[in-house]
């Protein structure tokens, strides 16, 4: 779709892709800002194109009983986010083996997500594709180092944990893509905290990758999180890509050299909201008898996630999303504080995070029993 803003968008992207701009950002010690700006500009330019393509092909998310939007809305916004991240990485990064794994896995996730957005694939088939994407990342060396080396079979245990981690975070972000601005906004918040913690731990490579993801999500948000409702949705492709990429970045990083607890909980705090939501909802569905098998759990859709519960409390959709942003930011600050913390300080930070999530659980419980208006 060509409008009066098309040429300025193209000019901005072209200017940012020029080599001197990259050199200037390095000279000013602001390469992270350049990467975020480039990804943001590409996404801001590509999202209207993705919207026009979705309208042309009829790739729309139709209103329904289990949906919160009232009008048919184009999908495929995730293609713009993926494209912005890919262009930024291809133009500015030397691919490490692990980055190749995240890139290959992320591409598989996006491809199957686009097909799902267009045809509505069975849940089991999507999970199979996600397992393949996670397996590709693992094959390239994206493996958690959680299990100590003195435990027999530690390598295979780490591989299994990595597989579970990638699948859990990917689906956790996807499940939260139920209100305008939520999944992409959480991608921005998590990406910012991963950038900061990467800087704290001397992992500039991961800091730059996180900045690129932040920019890609920011470029999409103006079309999705706006008064009057989003003009386009991420779709399964976009939400899954954001989740898979965040999970991959977390697995690539070394968050503490000599403190396994801090290394484990740093990414878990940054991704605390989606991880808590998928765990809480899963337990509630099993306890209440709504699901009995893995197939039922994969196929089940309902308004029982954190954003639905907050809306049931009387908050507007925007207020619900902003409150979730605040909770995610609070947990992310805890991850920053873990760096250099003494054991006692680390315990206090984790206790504070547990208290925050306990309050959220209570609010969700109230939202679950309160009748909808």
> What pLDDT is attached to residue 67?
61
pLDDT tens readout for residues 177-210: 989 999 999 999 999 999 999 999 999 999 999 9
Residue with tokens 């494209």: 83
Residue with tokens 């700006």: 37
Q: How confident is the model at residue 304 (pLDDT cuts 50, 70, 90)?
A: confident
β-sheet bridge partners, residue 74: 60
β-sheet bridge partners, residue 61: 73
8 Å CB contact between 292 and 300: no
End-to-end CA distance of the chain: 39
Tokens representing residue 155 in the block: 């390598």
> What pLDDT is attached to residue 27?
42
pLDDT tens readout for residues 221-275: 999 998 888 899 999 999 999 999 999 999 999 887 777 778 889 999 999 999 9
Residue with tokens 């267009």: 118
pLDDT tens readout for residues 313-363: 989 999 999 999 999 999 999 999 998 888 888 899 999 999 999 999 998
112-138 mean pLDDT: 93
């Amino acid at each position: 779709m060509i409008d009066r803003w098309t040429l300025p968008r193209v000019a901005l992207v072209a200017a940012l892709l020029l080599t001197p701009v990259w050199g200037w950002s390095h000279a000013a010690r602001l390469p992270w800002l350049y990467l975020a700006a480039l990804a943001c500009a590409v996404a801001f330019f590509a999202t209207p194109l993705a919207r026009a393509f979705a309208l042309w092909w009829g790739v729309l998310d139709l209103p329904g009983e289990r949906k919160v939007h009232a009008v048919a809305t184009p999908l495929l916004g995730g293609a713009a986010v993926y494209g912005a991240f890919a262009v930024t990485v291809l133009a500015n990064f030397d691919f490490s083996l692990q980055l190749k794994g995240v890139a290959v896995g992320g591409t598989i996730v996006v491809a199957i997500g686009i097909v799902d957005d267009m045809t509505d694939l069975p849940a089991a088939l999507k999970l199979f594709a996600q397992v393949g994407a996670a397996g590709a990342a693992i094959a390239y060396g994206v493996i958690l180092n959680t299990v100590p080396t003195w435990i027999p079979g530690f390598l295979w245990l780490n591989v299994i944990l990595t597989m579970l981690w990638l699948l859990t975070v990917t689906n956790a972000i996807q499940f939260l893509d139920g209100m305008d601005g939520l999944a992409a906004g959480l991608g921005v918040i998590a990406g910012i905290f991963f950038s900061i913690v990467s800087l704290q731990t001397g992992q500039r490579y991961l800091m730059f990758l996180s900045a690129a993801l932040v920019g890609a999500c920011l470029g999409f948000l103006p079309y999705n999180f706006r008064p009057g409702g989003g003009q386009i949705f991420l779709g399964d492709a976009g939400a899954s890509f954001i989740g898979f990429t965040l999970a991959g970045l977390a697995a690539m990083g070394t968050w503490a050299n000599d403190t396994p607890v801090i290394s484990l909980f740093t990414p878990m705090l940054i991704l605390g909201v989606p991880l808590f939501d998928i765990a809480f909802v899963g337990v509630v569905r099993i306890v209440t008898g709504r699901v009995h098998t893995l197939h039922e759990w994969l196929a089940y859709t309902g308004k029982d996630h954190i954003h639905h519960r907050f809306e049931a409390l009387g908050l507007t959709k925007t207020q619900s999303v902003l409150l979730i942003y605040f909770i995610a930011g609070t947990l992310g600050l805890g991850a920053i504080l873990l760096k250099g913390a003494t054991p006692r300080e680390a315990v206090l930070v984790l206790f504070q995070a547990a208290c925050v999530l306990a309050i959220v659980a209570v609010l969700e419980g109230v939202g679950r029993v309160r009748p909808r208006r």
